Amino acid sequence: MISVKIGHIYHRQTLKNQAKSFVDSQVSIHGIGVQSHFGSTDIDMTQLKYRLDKVAEAGPPIWVTELSIKGSNFTAKAQALEDVLTMYFSHKKVAGVILWGFWGASLKWQANAATPTVVVNKAGNKYMELVNSEWRTNWTEKLKTYKNRRYFKGQYSIKIKKDGVTLKTIA
């Protein structure tokens, strides 16, 4: 993936303008990478949605390449992580999220880590609960061949085609 990565989600207009200039110049980019370091667990979700929407106006998918939330209250951090991940994964332009430093010892800013040690704390457990259970589903269907796919929670549609013609759409 070629991505435009020039700063934090806070710099939404700069991100949007840079990505838009590449798109307008027909530079082949496949995503906009945004850093997402939050200085506390008190995150304005309305403002975050606004910033995502502004960056999304450039067109390419958004990749959150550095998600971290600073704070020592692990219950508050777990809730903030759930809120932020829900916002990101529910936004139509966000293609993926990468946590910044899962273990505290690997970070310059250890308080930002999802876990300060190798022992998983509430924020790390919340992440694993959301990604491995609550947001995940398995779909199995017998078509011509056995298919088993994993999807995150959301709305999907299935198109049944024959010879390139859609016979039925199931939403």
> Quick check: is 168 in a domain?
no
* Residue-range definition of the domain harbouring residue 128: 3-135
- Whole-model pTM over 0.75: no
**Looking at the 3D structure of the chain, how many domains does it have?**
1
How far from 168 is each of 43, 142, 145, 162, 171, CA to CA, in Å?
A: 43, 16, 19, 10, 10
Does residue 19 form part of some domain?
Answer: yes
Is residue 81 situated within a structural domain?
A: yes
- 21 within domain boundaries: yes
pLDDT in tens, 91-145: 999 998 888 765 545 445 555 555 555 677 888 888 888 888 888 776 666 666 6
Residue 171: inside a domain: no
Tens digit of pLDDT for each residue in 6-48?
A: 345 556 677 777 777 877 888 878 888 888 888 889 998 998 8
